[in-house]
Amino acid sequence: MTFRTKNKNKKKWFDRYLPFVSKSPEMKIKWLEKTFRKGALSLEEVTPYIRLLLSENSYEENERLVEIFADLNKELQYNLLEAADIYDTPKLLRLCPSPDRRHAEIALMKEVPNYEKKKQLILDKVFYAINDFSKELLENSVLKLQEEQKVSRAFMDNYKRFQEILGDEEFLLEMYPKAGGG
């Protein structure tokens, strides 16, 4: 019994004092989950930690994140999406095994910073991340947000432009099927 207590305390000590960047992806997710549960940090304060979580460069670590996200509950996925900035949102969406309308709406409601010069490119990345999972999910989510008047006219113009881009891509793939890589 005494031996188990010592090992348990060592693990707690290790978890507590190991810097976030040195933790494994599993430990990072557990830390973020604990942070959301306790409400210790605001969403803006959690944003840099999500950036660090997603900054894994190796293929194995990215694959591990996909496996971890497959086991996460939806509420934690929503919290992570809400706390992430718009630049990390597409990658988070791609990690979610089966995004639903709430995932899409959280992502679509993200504001592009005013200082960003390529606002359309950033929005396109979010649109593509949702569209890659399901075209209907993107369409239904945008329509729902439009009905609830939660999106601006500029957003809708960008969405219509994105739909035109998708139409052009489909047309080009019909004309040049080998260009699609398949």
**CA-based angle 34:111:155, to the nearest 5?**
140
Q: What is the pLDDT confidence band of residue 1, given thresholds at 50, 70 and 90?
A: very low
The answer to whether the beta carbons of residues 82 and 47 sit under 8 Å apart is no
Which of 84, 98, 101, 99 has its CA nearest to residue 139? 101
List the structure tokens of 61.
């670590």
Cα separation, 137 vs 103, whole angstroms: 10
Render pLDDT for 156-173 as a digit per residue (tens, 0 to 9): 999 999 999 999 999 988
Render pLDDT for 86-112 as a digit per residue (tens, 0 to 9): 999 999 999 999 999 999 999 999 999
Cα separation, 26 vs 69, whole angstroms: 10
Enumerate the domain spans of the chain.
24-84, 101-182
